[in-house]
A and B are shown apart, each in its own frame.
Chain A
Amino acid sequence: MTSPAPLRHREIFPVVGLDLERAGQVSTEVQRVLRRLGVEPEVVRRAGIVCFEGEMNIVLYTPGGRIILLVYDDRVELIFSDQGPGIPDVELARQPGYSTAPDWARELGFGSGMGIPNMEANSDRLEIRSRLGEGTVIRATFWRRRDEAQRGGGEAGP
């Protein structure tokens, strides 16, 4: 690892399970905080999308949890943790289209099995740790490429 970049901001957002009226609130708040801190718009957008997917997963499938936002000079991290049922097969859940969503989640426009694949697509790194019956922790990392032009899919050199 390179020398650690200083932590600029740390904030914890509680997420209430099954609260559909407020679902999405944390994501818009996270984007506001990131914008206020001057984080690059491209990172704000990706973090917002990943946060929304993670937040909806907590709301739809667990009694609740929390989202921790960490802002460093070189990266943004979002850590989602919940006390839900856990993901039986994490590798399967990473596959597009795999879903265990109940019908009512699908009727809300979610649960098509794109959540975790989309979190992967919009973050630079996605770590998932899950224990059946105990809960899930997901850490998403977004690298801040301030010096580079925002070229999608460009190779990140050393």
Chain B
Amino acid sequence: MKLREVAELVGAGFLTGEELADREVSAAFAADLLSDVLAMVREEGVLLITGTVTAQVVRVAEVMNLAGVLFVRGKLPAKSTVDYAAAAGIPLLATPRTMYEACGVLYTHGLPGAKRKPLPYEHDQPSSPPP
């Protein structure tokens, strides 16, 4: 699904990155806890749906090579954050919809959930040792 379709489906506007509206989104992950995004998202090209509007959201998106960020519940990041995202090439969208609604609409229209990385205690075995 393209970012443009995401925006249309949830009634979102682009805060920045509209020139990247044709970028393809492979899957989505929704969380307010950035720790969970860092620990659980394993793919690249994922859309992050969040109600957290701190500058760190964009840093996380950059570090994890996410396709873009959709802010929900009508919350908007500070201008400095939007400016940083523009420079970093991270599209930011915002919708007045709640997270539950936004996720529901996108999921219904075929945007799958990002595969979640198992937490360390979910592994049967400890991670493989270095060579």
Contacts and interface: CB of A to CB of B under 8 A. Distances in A.
A6 interface: no
Interface of A: 20-21, 23-25, 27-28, 31, 45, 48-49, 51-53, 56, 96, 108-115, 117-118, 120-121, 124-125, 141, 143, 145, 153-158
Closest 4 CB pairs of A and B: A24-B59, A109-B34, A156-B131, A124-B130
A32 B62 CA distance: 11
A113 B88 CA distance: 28
A24 B56 contact: yes
A156 B32 CA distance: 36
B55 A153 contact: no
A7 B62 CA distance: 27
Contacts of A154: 128
B39 A52 contact: no
B38 interface: yes
B64 A45 contact: yes
Interface string B95-131: 0000000000000000000000101110000011111
Contacts of B128: 153-156
Given A21-B80, A56-B56, A114 B63 contact: no
Contacts of A20: 54-56
15 contacts: A20-B56, A21-B55, A24-B56, A28-B59, A49-B63, A52-B60, A96-B120, A108-B34, A108-B52, A110-B34, A110-B35, A118-B35, A121-B120, A153-B128, A156-B130
B33 interface: yes
B49 interface: no
